[in-house]
Amino acid sequence: MKKHPDVKKVMLSNHQLLTRIEEMAEQISKDYQNTYPLMICILKGSSVFFAHLLGKMTIDAEMEFMAISTYGKGTTTSGEVRLLKDLDIPLEHRDVIIVEDIIDSGVTLNYLIKLLQARGANSVKVCCLLSKPARRRIAIDISYIGYEIEDEFVVGFGLDFNEKYRNLDFVGVLKQEMYK
Ligand code: IMP
Ligand code: MG
């Protein structure tokens, strides 16, 4: 969808997103040239970013999926992390890239990085489309960032509010009256 009445403004257009994602794919392909990285999509928010990113890579990569929940319903994190879908494969000797939609407090990623490292991965790096540095509660070392954004609640391109708006083809700021 290209427009939505609940969206106050477009923060990142489809063109901007795809351009940046292509650059990120090139960088990852270069950095992982002689490896076969295991790229983990964190469902559901990262799915749109993940598909575009992997489609622009020029090296082979393996795709895996995990689902994690921190937010119940709403726009603030509960701080509690639940593993809803785990990997089916071993991580020993693997170079893992966690692909995340947005890093906010850092609680989710902190949990995930520790979990994957404990399973014996050779390396664990983070690639996110968006980062909100102003809201960080736990410092996260992010190797690839699409865009750093202001502290505003955004939807679209996979990102939701109560499961809605994921199929917008841009990243937009939701009207306040939608969640207040
Ligand atoms: P963190 O654990 O606080 O870093 O939260 C990360 C998760 O919160 C993301 O994977 C999103 O699912 C969700 N989230 C954080 N900020 C936003 C936002 O602005 N829009 C939609 N989802 C968000
Ligand atoms: Mg979410």
Distance 77 CA to ligand 1 centre (A): 8
Compute the distance from residue 58 Cα to the ligand 1 centre, in Å.
29
Q: Is the pTM of this model over 0.75?
A: yes
Give long-range contacts, CB 8 A cutoff, 24+ apart: 13-18. Answer: 13/170, 14/157, 14/169, 14/170, 17/52, 17/129, 17/146, 17/157, 17/170, 17/171, 18/52
End-to-end CA distance of the chain: 24
Given the CA of residue 160, which atom of ligand 1 is nearest to it?
21
pLDDT tens digits along 150-168: 999 999 999 999 999 999 9
Is 160 catalytic? The answer is: no
**Residue 28, both tokens:** 């990852």
Report the nearest atom of ligand 1 relative to the CA of 101: 10
pLDDT digits (tens, 9 = 90+) for 88-126: 899 999 999 999 999 999 999 999 999 999 999 999 999
